[in-house]
Amino acid sequence: MLYYLKFLEGFWGPFRLFEYATVRGILAAAIACAVGAFFAPRIIRRLQNVIQPERGRELLGEAAQEKRKVPTMGGLIIFFSALAGTLLCARPNVYVFSALTVFIGMTLVGFWDDYQKVVKKNSEGMSSGLKWVLTSLTAFAAFCVLLCKGGFRMNLLEIWMPFMKEPLVAFSGAVISSNNLSTAGALLFAVCVLALFWVTSVGASHAVNLTDGVDGLAAGCAVPNVCVFGVVAYLVGNARWAEYLNIGYVPGVGELAVFCAAIVAGILVFLWFNAAPATVYMGDTGSLALGGALGATALLTGHPFLLIISGGVFVVETGTAMIQMAYFKYTRKRYGEGRRIFLMTPIHHTWQLRGTPNTKLVVRCWIVSLALAAVALITLKLR
């Protein structure tokens, strides 16, 4: 709550700096780093006896056996770091609370999944159907948080496409208040918000979850993505920049830049211990939370389609898995046996089986993610 120190400007002039999201974003990152550095070794020590079960040994050989020696649920490092930085530095508003709802909810879902794997010794964790239901309920909870704000402006739902000068979807000037939620407009509003939150937050959470499988892969690729939407949040929440770039101004959404700064710092602390050879894995605890927070921020800033560009690595990983599954089912029905297009999906496993060293694979994906993040930011100007 460092934002409120700005009201003490009369006692000490520099307190006015806490009004600026940029200053608080830097402080959020610093606090997240400090909290992460303090708690990470302690969390890892506590997780030493919580080892991820062996999976995929017949396909990945020694790589799968190595995973048995490393504790999972390291996403708790990111969670506590980002939560501390956000709560202390972000100005409380409906956008921050909504994003935090997704972040916390997805963390709890992922933690329960990991708990089933490492404590209950169920190598498959919770069922895929249950995971989708719980992550969907988290999106619904975030939707309810948005509805709690009286006089909520539907122009938050302006959806911008890359390279387009006008929003794809716009609700100019329309206002839904807590007094008329029974109107047809309010019903449409509810359906739109819920559908968009489901597609972005739940879809992104599962995409990052699929990508997680090699030391530093998902976390490293998430960093440039979170940075992109931290920048977008700041620009959308700044009237001058929003007008200059023609990207739609949403008052208050700039606080999500502070949220993103805290998450980036938490990821970097985690990568300190997750870089190959890893001493801890994030597990579903971290991957679901990162993807959910990324998707929620993309929607709240009005640029969910930008995530398709910046998150290209996650899109390819998810797309190949879906194609593989669809083709396998089709050929099993057509020819009586399932056939595969790729050796194994998500696609990074195919590269592993073809002999690409894990470190080379991860660094290449980082480079691609950085390049796509740059392209995503450039599209804000090319309209």
3-state helix/strand/coil string of the chain: CHHHHHHHCCCCHHHHHHHCHHHHHHHHHHHHHHHHHHHHHHHHHHCCCCECCCCCHHHHCHHHHHHCCCECCCHHHHHHHHHHHHHHHCCCCHHHHHHHHHHHHHHHHHHHHHHHHHCCCCCCCCCHHHHHHHHHHHHHHHHHHHHCCCCEEHHHHCECCCCCCCCCECCCCCEECCCCCCCHHHHHHHHHHHHHHHHHHHHHHHHHHHHCCCCCHHHHHHHHHHHHHHHHHHHHCCHHHHHHHCCCCCCCHHHHHHHHHHHHHHHHHHHHHHCCCCCCCCHHHHHHHHHHHHHHHHHHCCCCCHHHHHCHHHHHHHHHHHHHHHHHHHHHHHHCCCCCCCCCCCCHHHHHHCCCCHHHHHHHHHHHHHHHHHHHHHHCCCC
Mean pLDDT of 81-100: 93
CA separation for the pair 63, 86 (Å, rounded): 36
- Give the pLDDT confidence score for residue 306 in this predicted structure: 92
Mean pLDDT, to the nearest integer, of 203-216? 90
Provide mean pLDDT across the span 132-161.
76
pLDDT above 90 covers what percent of the chain?
43
Can you tell me the distance from the alpha carbon of 88 to that of 81, in angstroms, rounded to the nearest whole number? 11
Mean pLDDT of 168-192: 57
Mean pLDDT over all residues of the chain? 84
* Stronger pLDDT, 119 or 68, i.e. the higher one: 119
Distance from the Cα of residue 204 to its chain's centroid: 7
Strand partners of residue 159: 169
Alpha-carbon gap, residue 178 to 182, rounded angstroms: 9
Distance CA 213, CA 215 (A): 7
Higher pLDDT, residue 59 or 291: 291
Region 173-189: what's the mean pLDDT? 53
pLDDT recorded at residue 364: 94
Burial class (CB in 10 A: 0-12, 13-18, 19+), 277: exposed
Taking the complete model, does pTM exceed 0.85, yes or no?
yes
Q: Look at residue 4 in the predicted model and tell me its pLDDT.
A: 62
121 burial via Cβ count (<10 Å: 0-12, 13-18, 19+):
exposed
CA distance 360 to 376: 24
- For residue range 228-283, list pLDDT tens digits in order: 999 999 999 998 998 888 888 888 899 999 999 999 999 999 999 988 788 888 88
CB–CB of 70/278 below 8 Å?
yes
pLDDT value at residue 181 = 46
Q: How confident is the model at residue 293 (pLDDT cuts 50, 70, 90)?
A: very high
Cβ contacts of 24 within 8 Å, gap of 6 or more: 2, 3, 18, 89, 90, 91, 258
pLDDT on residue 177: 46
- Per-residue model confidence (pLDDT) at position 25: 92
With a cut of 50, say whether residue 210 has pLDDT above it: yes
